Amino acid sequence: MDNVDEVYKLLELYKKSKSKHRLNSLHDYIDNPKSDGYRSIHLVYKLKKEPTIFLEIQMRSKLQHMWATGVEVFGTLQNSSFKSGQGNKKWLEFFALLSSVFALFEGKPILKKHRKYSKNELLKKIKHLNHELKVLENLNVYTAVYKTVAKKMSSGRKGKYQLVVLDSREKTISYKTFGTIHFDEAANLYLELEQKHLNDDQVNIVLVNTGDIKKLEVSYPNYFMDTKELVQKISLIMMDKFL
């Protein structure tokens, strides 16, 4: 959503909706952010069908999604699972600080471990780490070396599916487009590639439903190593023009 207020409006709509499915759990990681800085709202529904299926819905602001995208992209670039708490501790602290700065901007609680700091102290710490880790330089250099390769496309009458393969070893992002009538072909190829690269953490594969590749790049920037907006926000923080 565009902002936090819209996230909570959407949450209320879900809570008031008359659904045959049961809301099994609700976790508000915006008012109660995780220790690594993750902020979002998770709804888990138990669907009314057999066998039992649980469906998770995640809702967050664009700023929160930008943060989560940054964590995934950096994790890929550093070959570490940052979102699982693995990797360089200084990088992890940078993203934790960034989350708190974003929370200040949105008027929401910052991380507990940062509440002893003033706004100026938080900004000073994140600037120091940005300089030490060369965050902006790394983002621009790393993402620039990835090249996007379009595969042969299949057309359909309604809607399209995109099969995206992110290969960190070859520094390539390839995609193939399928029309609605070719969904089975897309699903079979996805399963084939998943099996082929099952034990290869350098290759990420995803199959999503979207209208076109541009829409996909906007909705799932982490699959295309797209961090332009994150770079802009960090740059504003460094220039004291964000808060």
The predicted-structure confidence for 30-39, as pLDDT tens digits, reads as follows 999 999 999 9
For 55-92, what is each residue's pLDDT tens digit?
Answer: 999 999 999 999 998 888 887 777 666 656 666 889 99
Q: What pLDDT, on a 0 to 100 scale, did the predictor assign at position 201?
A: 81
Q: What pLDDT, on a 0 to 100 scale, did the predictor assign at position 79?
A: 66
Mean pLDDT of 116-126: 97
Q: Would the CA dihedral through 153, 69, 5, 106 be positive or negative?
A: negative
For 187-212, what is each residue's pLDDT tens digit?
Answer: 999 999 999 999 988 898 989 887 67
Q: What pLDDT, on a 0 to 100 scale, did the predictor assign at position 82?
A: 61
Distance (Å, rounded) from C-alpha 173 to C-alpha 150?
Answer: 8
- Phi (first) and psi of residue 212, to 5 degrees: -155, 170
- Please name the CATH architecture into which domain 4-59 falls: 2-Layer Sandwich (3.30)
Q: What pLDDT, on a 0 to 100 scale, did the predictor assign at position 155?
A: 55
Please, where in the chain does CATH 3.30.460.10 lie? 4-59
Examine residue 221 and say whether the peptide bond preceding it is cis (omega within 30 degrees of 0). Answer: no
For 122-172, what is each residue's pLDDT tens digit?
Answer: 999 999 999 999 999 888 887 777 888 877 555 555 568 889 998 988 888
